[in-house]
Amino acid sequence: MTRVGDLRERELIDRIRRRLPPPPAWLVVGIGDDAAVVEPERNRIEVLSVDSVVDGVHFDRAFVPADAIGHRALAVNLSDLAAMGAAPRLALLSFALPATLPLSDFDGIADGLTALAARHGLHVVGGNLTRTPGPLTIDVTIVGTVKRRQALTRGGAKAGDQLYVTGTIGSASAGLSLLRARLTTDDSVLSTDDSRLVRVYLYPEPRVRIGVLLARNKAATACMDLSDGLADAVRQVAEASGVGAAIEADALPIDPAARARLASSGWDPIDAAIAGGDDYELLVAVRPRFTRRFEAAMRHADAPLTRIGSCTADRAVVVVRRDGREPRLSPLPEGYAHFRSFDALRVVPSDIEGR
């Protein structure tokens, strides 16, 4: 078996370059020089982000196929752009590769990454490859653009603003839990429902189109992606905006199959879905008087948006359950903000605590 350590850096770079579409007109100097040179986009401001995925921390090569690793490395960055309302433009890749990584895995990573890039009209303009004695680590730097005064931030929500979330939550956690369970029962066959959950975990769809629609529409007062879980996103938006938030447990868009899977793992499905990471959905705050304009714009969205609660003047961040006679308020479960927790794969908190 050929391994990446058997190839020269340039040969590996060529394997990525081969997968790229023809360079756009704004790319003055592409891959192969000391740096890339690009013509900036007129009348737009630039949105920049970097994010990395590490084997054993953000994914596990034992059950995540190579193309899903490449997909994820870019998706986490596209999700950050989406949360700012920016249209993707270019990316720089930085791979730290163990010498023993099979070349077929390297190719698979490149396939997953370049396929997602192509779907979003994003151009890979440069990068860096290095060897590492440690785990496979992929850093992606992404640059997008947005019109002046249209960038979405975390800090503009006010008390009374309605909170929406795109897609569903908890499916990625449920999918990851299924993949881990399968490791010990290799002969198990996934049902259609379970396949869907696994797919959500493996190939998250960053909400780029919705982010761009939100920026144009100007109805959103705050936006953030759920990469560290809904609980973390609600807390961050509330803190940056100087408000509190009340989330309605009954309103949460949790896939029934995910709910069943999370419950069968012994977790409270609502807590697990709120705290679980890897949902690359968007949390959006909308001023009530803009609700109609917002909902009209969202008819062009490629995923549903669900109203899940509202911002409050009281600074507490709570979840409201109406399963008994009286509504019960409880604090939002902890998310993944703890640096300490990053050395465990991102699953629901009880699982991390158990390690």
Which 225-284 positions form the footprint of a copy of itself (CB under 8 A)? 225, 240
- Among candidate residues 231, 308, 215, 205, the one with its CA nearest the CA of residue 223: 215
Of 290 and 342, the one with the shorter C-beta distance to a copy of itself is 342
Question: Interface with a copy of itself by CB under 8 A: which range of 36-44, 67-75, 247-255, 306-314?
Answer: 36-44
List the one residue out of 346, 278, 336, 348 whose CA is nearest residue 56: 346
Q: By the 8 A CB rule, do 85 and 151 touch? A: yes
The smaller minimum CB distance to a copy of itself, of residues 44 and 307, is found at: 44
Are the CB atoms for 317 and 235 separated by under 8 Å? yes
Measured from the CB atom, is 7 or 301 closer to a copy of itself?
7
Binding residues for a copy of itself restricted to 171-210, rule: CB under 8 A? none
| Minimal distance, residue 138 CB to a copy of itself, in Å | 10
The CB-of-171 to a copy of itself minimum distance in angstroms stands at: 21
> Nearest distance from residue 237's CB to a copy of itself, in Å?
10
User: Ramachandran region of residue 337, left (φ > 0), alpha (ψ -120 to 50) or beta?
Assistant: alpha
Cβ nearer to a copy of itself, comparing 5 with 288: 5
Angle at 142 (CA atoms; ends 137, 143), nearest 5 degrees: 165
Cβ partners under 8 Å of residue 28, min gap 6: 37, 38, 39
Q: Pick one of 1, 25, 35, 189: the residue that binds a copy of itself (CB under 8 A).
A: 35
Kindly state the smallest distance separating residue 13's Cβ from a copy of itself, in Å.
Answer: 10
Is position 18 an interface residue for a copy of itself (rule: CB under 8 A)?
A: no
Determine the size of the site formed for a copy of itself (CB under 8 A). 77
CB of 144 to a copy of itself, least distance (A): 8
71 contributes a contact to a copy of itself by CB under 8 A:
no
By CB under 8 A, what part of segment 95-154 binds a copy of itself? Answer: 96, 99, 125-135, 137, 139, 141-144, 146, 151, 153-154
Q: How far is the CB of 140 from a copy of itself (least distance, A)?
A: 9
Window 324 to 353, contacts with a copy of itself (CB under 8 A):
337-340, 342-343
Which of 201/280 has CB closer to a copy of itself? 280
Looking at the Cβ atoms of 261 and 346, the one nearer to a copy of itself is 346
Terminal-to-terminal C-alpha distance of the chain: 35
> Minimal distance in Å, beta carbon 16 to a copy of itself?
13
Closer residue to a copy of itself (CB): 205 or 225: 225
- 40, 266, 288, 331: which one binds a copy of itself (CB under 8 A): 40
| Cβ-contact 261, 197 below 8 angstroms | yes
DSSP string computed for 202-240: HS----HHHHHHHHHH--EEEEEE-TT-HHHHHHHHHHH
Q: Which is nearer to a copy of itself, 120 or 154 (CB)?
A: 154
The DSSP bridge pattern shows strands 220-225 and 282-286 to be antiparallel
How many CB atoms sit inside 10 A of residue 99's CB? 11
Nearer to a copy of itself, 136 or 258 (CB): 136
Place of tokens 């009286």: 326
- Give residue for tokens 């920026």: 215
Q: Is 1 in the site for a copy of itself (CB under 8 A)?
A: no
Element (H, E) at 130: strand 123-131
Kind and range of the H or E run holding 17 = helix 9-17
Rounded Cα–Cα distance for residues 174 and 188 (Å): 16
